[in-house]
């Protein structure tokens, strides 16, 4: 695994090192100098631009602070990914689909955005739609420089949109659930995302972007985050639309140690910070290196030691609520148009143990695909429609199965396998793409850009109509058809609310 990650990171460094010339833009963080390379000569790239002060030392486990202006910022290479670790489990992602692995250049000074914009637009003001990307990773990992999630080729092809990736804190540094913190300041990762969006709105016109057309797109935990933002900031959502890709607020993934804050206290005690007041515990652990803290969590996770140390979001009634159906039904969400979709074989990639020859327990995989992904997407769509039928929701199911992304016969359209198609990185590893794969990629890219350009009318102009109970969604990449209708009723049939019906199979 270490060798694979090193090779992928070396590839990314090679890509950014092929700079033809520099490009400078003024921002609230300072004068930012990016680059244009030979691979995508019509794309200006600005990597690792800080939007917040480094959340370390006395700022560790506090809400992000907007970056103060400094003179010059070198944005020609990716910055740090926030503190995290790679586990030792053998999975599809460690063996067959390594392009999803997050390179381990980590450090606490990690709150940055990376921007990819058409070169010709960087000297103009406020014209192009913006897609703000929130990575997945179960709130435990992820970063801007995941190889499959580099949008340079997409922007090179489109020349009609800008992509901005937002780095946010994960694991214990993003979701500590510590007794010494305010109840509504536990979900620091979500506060990072919000400040990142605020930075984009403030600065994106200088890169050629339209601050009134910002679509937030997330996948998995990033999609859940996008939906959380949709409910949390009703008065000033910033966004004009949202794309929820294999995740919504209806997925139940909250902190398991609740009000006793036992996970954080366990870590503090290990490092000699136990038996202190809540504030003193926090201050004491701020003096322990992030590397040592992450190493402890990784060691226990790899060994399967109990108690398991899980750090994920907690209900705070500010960024995360416990009653999303009730809130949706009375219209307490941003009422911005949304794309909501899932994959046909979500759970084949993480149903364990990994068995290259035979694949996973397919019944267990089907149940997880339905219960963790499809049914929450169905419920989210139905609730949005019931709460406000005039708010457009566009439903899709991705069914692409391409051997350079899913090399084993049983993998299919697994969780995350659509991302290389949208980002245009499908041919990055394991051989060239087929003409059909390229066509599917371009269709998905065009859907996303059309939505970002005009969240209300863009997709209907392409033949993809908003959700109605008796209408059609789109099925993408299935059986040699780039895009085709699929009845909403077929997507909803396996689900009874959030619960899969007995014996139901994932569509199509």
Show the domains of the chain with their CATH numbers. 21-258+311-500 (3.40.50.1820), 269-303 (no CATH)
- Please list the residues that pair with 244 across neighbouring strands: 218, 340
Tell me, what's the pLDDT at 126? Answer: 64
How far is residue 162's CA from residue 118's CA, in Å, rounded to a whole number? Answer: 7
CA atoms within 13 A on the CB side of 381: 31
Instruction: Give the Cα separation of 508 and 343 in Å (integer).
Output: 10
3-state SS class at 154: helix
Question: Residue 367: left (phi > 0), alpha (psi -120 to 50), or beta?
Answer: alpha
Question: DSSP secondary-structure letter at 84?
Answer: -
Neighbours of 496 (CB within 10 A): 13
- Looking at residue 12, its pLDDT comes to 47
How many helices (H) and strands (E) are present in the chain, helices listed first? Answer: 15, 15
DSSP line for 44-80: EEEEEEE-B----GGGTTS---BPPPEEEEE-SS--P
Measuring CA to CA, how many Å separate 452 from each of 22, 84, 245, 330, 447?
Answer: 28, 31, 15, 26, 9
Which residue ranges of the chain lie beneath pLDDT 50?
Answer: 1-17
**C-alpha to C-alpha distance for 444 and 417, rounded to whole angstroms:** 13
| pLDDT for residue 13 | 44
* Cα–Cα dist 4/335, whole Å: 43
Instruction: Please state the pTM of the whole predicted model.
Output: 0.94
Buried (b) or exposed (e) across 397-414, using 16+ Cβ within 10 A? Answer: bbbbbbebbbbbebbbbb
Distances (CA, A) of 368 to 345, 347, 360, 363, 375: 10, 6, 12, 9, 10
Tell me which residue of 241, 157, 236 sits closest to 202, measured CA to CA: 236
Report whether 113 contacts 165 (CB < 8 A).
Answer: yes
- SS3 label, residue 211: strand
- The reported pLDDT for the residue numbered 308 is 82
Tens digit of each residue's pLDDT (9 = 90 or more) over 155-205: 999 999 999 999 999 999 999 999 999 999 999 999 999 999 999 999 999
Question: Which residues touch 390 (CB under 8 Å, ≥6 apart)?
Answer: none
Residues pairing with 474 in the sheet: 396, 485
Cα separation of 52 and 195, whole Å?
Answer: 8
pLDDT in tens, 334-353: 999 999 999 999 999 999 99
Q: What is the pLDDT of residue 50?
A: 98
Q: What is the pLDDT of residue 18?
A: 52
Q: Distance between CA atoms of 352 and 359, rounded to whole angstroms?
A: 9
CA distance 467 to 374: 15
Which residues are the active-site residues? 220, 346, 415
Burial class (CB in 10 A: 0-12, 13-18, 19+), 467: buried
Cis peptide before 287 (omega within 30 of 0): no
CA 126 vs. chain centroid, Å, equals: 25
DSSP state of 266: H
What is the 8-class DSSP label of residue 246? S
Local structure of 395: helix, strand or coil = strand
Contact 145, 76 (CB under 8 A): no
Q: Is the peptide bond before 369 cis (omega within 30 degrees of 0)?
A: no
């Amino acid at each position: 695994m270490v060798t694979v990650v090193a090779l992928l990171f070396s590839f990314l460094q090679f890509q950014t090192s092929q700079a033809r010339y520099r490009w400078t833009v003024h921002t609230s963080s300072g004068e930012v100098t990016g680059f244009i390379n030979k691979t995508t000569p019509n794309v200006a790239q600005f990597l690792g631009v800080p939007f917040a002060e480094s959340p370390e030392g006395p700022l560790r486990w506090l809400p992000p602070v907007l970056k103060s202006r400094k003179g010059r910022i070198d944005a020609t290479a990716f910055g740090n990914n926030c503190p995290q670790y790679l586990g030792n489990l053998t999975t599809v992602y460690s063996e067959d689909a390594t392009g999803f692995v997050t390179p381990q250049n980590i450090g606490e000074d990690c709150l940055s955005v990376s921007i990819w914009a058409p070169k010709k637009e960087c000297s103009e003001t406020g014209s192009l739609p913006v897609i703000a990307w929130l990575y997945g990773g179960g709130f435990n990992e992820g970063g801007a420089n995941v190889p499959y999630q580099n949008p340079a080729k997409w922007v090179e092809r489109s020349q009609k949109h800008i992509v901005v990736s937002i780095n946010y804190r994960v694991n214990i540094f993003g979701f500590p659930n510590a007794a010494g913190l305010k109840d509504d300041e536990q979900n620091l990762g979500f506060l990072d995302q919000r400040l990142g969006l605020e930075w984009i709105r403030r600065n994106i016109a200088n890169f050629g972007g339209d601050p009134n057309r910002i679509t937030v797109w997330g996948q998995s935990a990033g999609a859940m985050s996008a939906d959380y933002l949709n409910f949390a900031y009703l008065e000033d959502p910033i966004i004009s639309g949202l794309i929820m890709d294999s995740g919504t607020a209806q997925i139940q993934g909250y902190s398991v140690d609740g009000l006793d804050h036992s996970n954080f206290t366990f870590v503090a005690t290990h490092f000699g910070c136990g038996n202190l007041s809540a504030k003193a515990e926090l201050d004491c652990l701020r003096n322990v290196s992030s590397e040592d803290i992450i190493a402890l969590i990784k060691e226990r996770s790899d060994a399967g030691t109990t108690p398991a140390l899980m750090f994920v979001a907690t209900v705070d009634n500010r960024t995360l609520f416990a009653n999303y159906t009730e809130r949706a039904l009375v219209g307490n969400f941003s009422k911005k148009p949304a794309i909501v979709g899932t994959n046909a074989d979500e759970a084949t990639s993480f149903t364990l143990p990994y068995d290259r020859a035979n694949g996973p327990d397919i019944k267990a995989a089907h149940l997880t695909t339905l219960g963790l992904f499809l049914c929450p997407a169905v419920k989210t769509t139905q609730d949005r429609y019931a709460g406000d039928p005039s708010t457009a929701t566009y439903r899709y199911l991705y069914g692409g199965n391409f051997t350079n992304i899913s090399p084993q016969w049983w993998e299919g359209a697994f969780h995350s396998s659509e991302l290389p198609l949208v980002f245009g990185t499908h041919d990055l590893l394991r051989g060239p793409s087929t003409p059909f794969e390229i066509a599917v990629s371009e269709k998905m890219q065009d859907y996303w850009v059309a939505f970002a350009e005009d969240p209300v009318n863009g997709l209907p102009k392409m033949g993809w109509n908003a959700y109605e109970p008796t209408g059609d969604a789109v099925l993408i990449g299935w059986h040699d058809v780039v895009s085709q209708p699929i009845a909403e009723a077929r997507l909803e049939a396996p689900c009874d609310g959030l619960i899969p019906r007995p014996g139901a199979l994932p569509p199509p």
